[in-house]
Amino acid sequence: MLKEKGIAVFFEDENINTLTMDGELLLVVLSSVAEQEVENISSNVKKGLKMKMQRGELVGFQGCLGYDYHKDTKSISVNEKEAEIVRYIFNRYIEGAGCTVIANELENLGYKTKYGSSRWVQSTVIGIIKNEKYKGDLLLGKTFTVDPISKRRLENFGEEDKFYIRDHHEAIISEEIFEEAQKILAKRNVNRGVHQEGQKRNKFSRKYAFSCMIKCGFCGGTLSRRNWHSSSAYTKTIWHCVTATKHGKKNGPHCKGIPEEVIENAFVKSYQLLCSDQHEVVSEFLQKVEDILKDDASLKRLPKIEKEMTDLQRRKEKLLDLRLDNNIDRDIYDKKNQELSEQLKKLQAEQLQLVELSKNQESTKTRIREFRKNLNSGELLESFDRVVFESVVERIIIGGYNDEGVEDPLKITFVYKTGIHSNLNAKDFKPKRKNAAAVHTDAELCSYASVEDNKLCLHSSSDTC
């Protein structure tokens, strides 16, 4: 740019003038040499950092809520005051709260971030939930530098090596809770922008207590939150099946809008019954489930499978040695090796199933412990509490069929996380209408066909009913 305006730059050490031909050529050569030197230094630094990562040393640690960094030992230790915030975030997330809701709760409780800010945002909460450091592990190489000139950093999706160290430091939460949170996170993020033609886009939200928690008992669709008469004094919030609202009443003839207040009151009643009348039944049920999980013989099979796989692998190695020493023919080797490979493949598939079963059982045990904790607290709800609701309820089903097989659009079924179903009817919790004061009782209503209509009201009166 300076050259175009006829302005020279003179480098005193190298005696270069950018407006002369010799100076321009020399500048290009020296610039190339300098750039190559920077790249060589960058390459050497990267090698050094990778060697540190292989040794399990912390590299590029920028601070983490719940941990304190010690420069002298290059290690981290648990900060108990901040660790309580981390445990609260994971517990609320597993109970069903969304990241935005958790962020608002942290602000209301007065908690501060690692850097002392009282403002919490959704991305901060998600970052904490994704961070493997809270279960005691360490993943190094999450990002990498594209080139040493621009110093641009990108997320590492396999372009560079990553190093995962287990049990690197003291954990704040258990591995079971962390894995459960990752399952919920994956479930909520699955295929948000991709959907099949003719189907509603799968979008997960926890903005409200009942968001993505209510299903239609007739079509299986989700119920969405809507406001009726929002511009009048008779406004109310209802939950209605999206099939009926999006595609017309003919696609959901039995679906009815249920006021939010009705669902809240129904849950309070259901939980009170569960904690009082059915407390012994629920406790017995939970004990049976725990006994079944404890006595499950399928998980005892896992160590045996590992031993059998080790034996098969050893037999394959011996078979290979025999073949290399020409002690067996090629055909015999191929046949035996194929048989051993098939057996090993079956055992690997069985091992994967049992490992997944083990994870599911640990998740179930955790949910049972949380449910028993809430049940044994002995606190009867007097009004709707979102925290209690999210900690014990799996989903709600609105509508369905009664014992005679007749459609009942007002049926409310609470499915608890232990598998228990609680059936109630919305009409038992219908709130009083806002204009109820202007409505007379049945005995006071007039009928124009009645002989007592003159006693009840006059057509010329301003109080005509």
Quote the CA–CA distance of 42 and 160 in Å, as a whole number: 14
Q: pLDDT band for 372, please (50, 70, 90 cuts).
A: low
Q: What are phi and psi of 106, to 5 degrees?
A: -65, -40
86 touches 128 (CB < 8 A): yes
**What is the distance between the alpha carbons of residues 293 and 176, in angstroms, rounded to a whole number?**
16
pLDDT bin (cut points 50, 70, 90) of residue 279 is low
Please give the Cα distance from 369 to 30 (Å, whole number).
Answer: 69
d(CA 9, CA 93): 60
The pLDDT tens digits for 12-69 are 888 888 888 777 788 888 888 888 888 889 888 888 888 888 888 888 787 889 999 8
Which residues are 254's β-sheet partners? none
Residues 68-89 pLDDT 10s: 988 888 889 999 999 999 999 9
Residue 308 has pLDDT above 70, yes or no: yes
Q: What distance lies between CA 88 and its chain's CA centroid?
A: 15
pLDDT, average across residues 121-127: 91
Residue 127's pLDDT is what? 92
pLDDT value at residue 334: 85
Note the pLDDT tens digit of each residue in 229-266.
Answer: 777 777 888 898 888 888 777 777 788 888 999 999 99
In terms of pLDDT, which residue wins out, 407 or 21?
A: 407
Residue 137: the pLDDT is 92
Tell me the torsion sign for CA atoms 406, 411, 417, 419. Answer: negative
Phi-psi region of 141 (alpha: psi -120 to 50; beta: other; left: phi over 0): left
